[in-house]
Amino acid sequence: MSETAIGGGFDVVEVLKRLPHRYPLLLVDRVIELVPDQRIRAVKAVSFNEQFFQGHFPGAPIMPGVLQVEALAQAAGVLAIETLGLRDSGQLVYFMAIENAKFRAPVTPGCLLQLDVDFVQKRARVCKFAGKASVEGKVTCDVTFTAMIADAPSSS
């Protein structure tokens, strides 16, 4: 693919065409910039209406760190799907490993969580990524993770 950014990013409707995730687990609302083979910048608008805030934590709502990692992984999935030409292929991007996850600041309702993910290594079936989530320029989470490309499970 070209090394130029996909013009202007795209909205959640286009995200839904690339990811199998649906509410309540779709954690990418918009792609701001995507440069195939290199990086993606996406956002998640964190709303008080998120189901996880009911129990994490009542009276002091904080987005779970594991969901920040999942949001970064979903952004990486969009990057991999665009880079490897997997859209409508029936193949999915699956987690293989999560390494060096660090949680640096809480994410609360009303935040716009920025998701920045870079390719670290890319092979035919395995990709490694470095991700960083932030709110207003302050890093909330950074992580390295590996994913594999495989066929979707059969629905039998």
The domain segmentation of the chain, as residue ranges, is 12-151
Note the pLDDT of residue 5. 58
The candidate with the shortest Cα–Cα distance to 34, out of 72, 88, 75, is 75
The 10s digit of each residue's pLDDT in 92-124 is 999 999 999 999 999 999 999 999 999 999 988
The 10s digit of each residue's pLDDT in 1-12 is 334 556 679 999
* Fold of the CATH domain 12-151: Thiol Ester Dehydrase; Chain A (3.10.129)
pTM over 0.85: yes
3 state SS of 73: helix
Q: Which are the catalytic amino acids?
A: 56
The 10s digit of each residue's pLDDT in 42-71 is 999 999 999 999 999 989 999 999 999 999
Hey, what are 111's tokens? Answer: 């935040």
Hey, what are 83's tokens? Answer: 């880079």
CA dihedral 47, 52, 57, 63 (to 10 degrees): -60
